[in-house]
Structure 1
């Protein structure tokens, strides 16, 4: 089957399954809504901050506070895109129609990634501008140094979160198992590891913690992170690439 036909087929599958479409919408709503709420609260509480906290106040990063929950919706989207066909048994028909498993898998990933990126870009720009409007005199401008990089980087972060989840779902094939591992890991385990001094330095190299560096414009005091914003996003991209590679390898060598 030609590449264009594979892409068209995968696009039809994604848009015809309501759950995948709804998860993208939920990612946008949660990210924008929670970011706006945190931005408004931060403006009202700014005068109560210590001089140290005021010095490192990052209005751009504050506006993306909703990504802590919005990213979970992107995880669900990535998992469902890949694992829905396994849970319904449609994977056998799909592989019969597209025997080249590489074309099937990477066609699916390419379409889902492009859709995730478009939604993420719209979400992060809307989140930034709304958040800055609510921050008022504390706001940053998109033309300020590092701000545009952070806004675009936030979209790339959301997209890579979905891509990483696609790879994990390809490995595990079960939506429940994939979500049962990924959601607690990003929502709880990663945060705990980052807060414990014994594991803090290792946790910096986890995909979510490394990738979130791209959204920082103001560097925290005494920050000894051994990589910069793009370096952190690069680490996250390596995690996503590794997950896809392993997922594809397993798809090639096992039965549907």
Structure 2
């Protein structure tokens, strides 16, 4: 099967499965709604902040507060895109139709990534503008230094989260096992490692903590992170590349 045919096939698979469509929609709703809520609460609480916290207040980053929960849906989407075929047994038919496993995997990842990128960028811009509307006179402008980079970076971050999940799901093959590892990793382990003084220097190199740096415009006074926004996104991209490479190696070596 030619590469273009494989890509069309993967597109048909994704849009014909209701769960994958719903998870992307949920990612949009949760990210935007929670971002607006946190922005509104932050505006009301601004006068109660210390002088130092007011100086380091980042209206752009505040509007992306919902990303921490919205990425949950992107993780689920990434896992389902890959592991649905394993859970239904359709993977045997797919690999019989596309025996070149590199073509099969990377066509699937390419289609899902393109969809995530469109949804992620659109969500990021909507989240920013609605979040700034909630902040009132504390808001930032899209033309302010670093803001456009942060907004575009928010979409890239969500896309990379989904790609990382695809790589992990390809390695593990089971949707339950993949989600059982990814959810605690991002919502428990990463937070613990990043907030405990003994391990915070390790935690800052985890994919979510490094990648989220791209959405930050104002650097806190006590932030001693040794990399900037693009450096953090690069670290996250390395994690993604490693997960996809691991998935490809295992897909190539084992039976369906």
Q: When the two structures are superposed, what TM-score results if normalisation uses the length of structure 2?
A: 0.99
Within 5 A, what are the aligned runs for 1:213-232? 213-232=213-232
- Aligned-pair distance for 1:188? 1.0
| TM-aligned CA deviation for residue 202 of structure 1 | 0.5
1: CA distance between counterparts of 2:122 and 2:67?
14
The CA distance in 2 between the partners of 1:210 and 1:165, in whole Å, is 16
Aligned to 1:246: 246
What residue is the counterpart of 2:22 in the other structure?
22
Q: Determine the structure 2 residue equivalent to 1:69.
A: 69
Rounded to whole Å, the distance in 2 between the matches of 1:30 and 1:216 is 20
Cα deviation for residue 222 of structure 1 reads 2.1
Distance in 2 of aligned mates of 1:228 and 1:203: 15
Distance between the aligned counterparts of 1:80 and 1:67, measured in 2? 20
What is aligned with 2:201? 201
SS in 1 for 2:218: coil
Distance, in Å, in 2 between the alignment partners of 1:190 and 1:254 is 31
Measured in 1, the distance between the counterparts of 2:130 and 2:81 equals: 30
**Which structure 1 residue ranges, 4+ long, deviate > 3 Å from structure 2?**
none
Q: Verify: 1:13 aligned to 2:36, yes or no.
A: no
Where does residue 45 of structure 2 map in the other structure? 45
Write out per-residue CA displacement over residues 42-97 of structure 1, whole angstroms, 9 at most, x where no aligned residue: 11111111101000000000000000100011000000000000000000000001
Q: Map 1:123-138 to 2 at 5 A.
A: 123-138=123-138
Q: Which runs of 5+ in 2 are unaligned?
A: none
Q: What is the match of residue 177 of structure 1?
A: 177
Aligned to 1:221, the other structure's residue is in SS state coil
Give, in angstroms, the shift of residue 223 of structure 1: 1.2
Counterparts of 2:222 and 2:172, CA distance in 1: 40
Q: Residue 211 of structure 1 corresponds to which residue in structure 2?
A: 211
Supply the RMSD in Å over aligned alpha carbons: 0.4
**Mind listing any 5+ residue stretches in structure 1 that lack a counterpart?**
none
Identify which range, 220-229 or 30-39, moves more after superposition: 220-229
- Return the offset for 1:141: 0.2
Aligned 1:139-158 pairs, distance under 5 A: 139-158=139-158
Give TM-score scaled by structure 1 length. Answer: 0.99
SS state at 2:217 partner: coil
Aligned length: 256
